[in-house]
């Protein structure tokens, strides 16, 4: 594990809370680009990585990172159940933006063989499947970092309505949310102004894109995340945890 990742490993909760509060005060009136640029350089943020699904809106944050520092580590979780279009899009976007440090992470082969040998786990236990293919691989990868950059935004649900630029992610890690205050129109405008490529499935009715077996098109007027795990009360894969609990947002919350 890199030495930098140990900087806040033994930080008491009250000191972590004070550090996060200081970061939010420091960048409170900054825009997304300044927050991201500052976070990547600020010693109080530690060693950061961007976690990206290369989904419907991911290219915005990827583009910002490519401008500020294209050597920033980017973690892409290949669940091995993604749409073929997502895999092609991931490769094309990384090349077009000149991202120099994209790391593709997957579940361990032995874990897949033991827990989902025939690839049907998602049919009867979606939480277990997400945990196996997404949450655990990500947690292992994040053990090398003091924090991670996300594309979460306040408009995405009631549990995110007060989202700050910096927040705790367990006792020894933070999350950075540069786009926290962006509205849907901001995302669209940024993509258009910078001529960024759209995920090909967006035009086919997929405003939120996850694994192929658990993602369906969304009808006009539906919540953008209505197509994720349709018919169940599940709306999050489990990588966003607050106080040890999965944060559920959107139409099925």
pLDDT tens digits, 130-152: 999 999 999 999 999 999 999 98
Pairing of strands 245-246, 241-242: antiparallel
Q: Please tell me the distance from the alpha carbon of residue 241 to that of residue 253, in angstroms, as a whole number.
A: 15
Residue 249 has pLDDT above 70, yes or no: no
pLDDT tens digits, 12-50: 999 999 999 999 999 999 999 999 999 999 999 999 999
Q: Please tell me the distance from the alpha carbon of residue 35 to that of residue 27, in angstroms, as a whole number.
A: 6
pLDDT band at residue 227, thresholds of 50, 70 and 90?
A: confident
Residue 67 has pLDDT above 80, yes or no: yes
pLDDT band at residue 112, thresholds of 50, 70 and 90?
A: very high
Catalytic positions? 237
Mean pLDDT of 99-121: 97
What pLDDT score was predicted for residue 159?
A: 54
> 3-206: what fold?
Rossmann fold (3.40.50)
Residue 6 has pLDDT above 60, yes or no: no
Q: Please tell me the distance from the alpha carbon of residue 55 to that of residue 89, in angstroms, as a whole number.
A: 9
pTM: 0.86
Residue 185 has pLDDT above 60, yes or no: yes
Which two structure tokens, joined as six digits, stand for 214?
């658990």
Query: Domain spans of the chain?
Result: 3-206
What pLDDT score was predicted for residue 248?
A: 38
Q: 52-61, 106-115, 142-151, 213-222: lowest mean pLDDT where?
A: 213-222
Taking alpha carbons only, the member of 224, 158, 197 closest to residue 66 is 197
What pLDDT score was predicted for residue 220?
A: 86
């Amino acid at each position: 594990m890199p030495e930098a990742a140990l900087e806040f490993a033994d930080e008491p909760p009250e000191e972590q809370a004070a550090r996060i509060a200081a970061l939010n005060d420091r960048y409170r009136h900054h825009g997304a680009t300044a927050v991201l640029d500052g976070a990547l350089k600020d010693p109080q943020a530690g060693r950061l990585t961007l976690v990206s699904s290369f989904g419907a809106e991911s290219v915005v944050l990827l583009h910002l990172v490519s401008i500020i520092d294209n050597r920033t580590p980017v973690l892409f979780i290949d669940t091995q159940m993604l749409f073929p279009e997502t895999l092609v899009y991931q490769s094309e976007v990384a090349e077009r933006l000149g991202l120099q440090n994209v790391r593709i992470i997957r579940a361990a082969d032995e874990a897949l063989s033991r827990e989902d040998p025939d690839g049907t786990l998602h049919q009867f236990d979606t939480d277990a499947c997400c945990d196996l293919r997404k949450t655990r691989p990500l947690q292992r990868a994040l053990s090398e970092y003091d924090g991670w950059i996300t594309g979460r935004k306040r408009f995405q649900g009631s549990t995110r309505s007060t989202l700050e630029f910096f927040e705790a992610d367990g006792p020894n890690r933070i999350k950075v949310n540069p786009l926290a205050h962006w509205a849907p129109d901001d995302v669209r405008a940024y993509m258009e102004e910078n001529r960024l490529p759209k995920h090909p499935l967006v035009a086919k009715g997929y405003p939120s894109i996850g694994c192929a077996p658990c993602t369906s098109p969304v009808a006009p007027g539906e919540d953008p995340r209505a197509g994720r795990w349709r018919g169940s009360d599940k709306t999050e894969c489990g990588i966003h945890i607050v106080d040890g609990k999965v944060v559920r947002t959107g139409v099925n919350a």
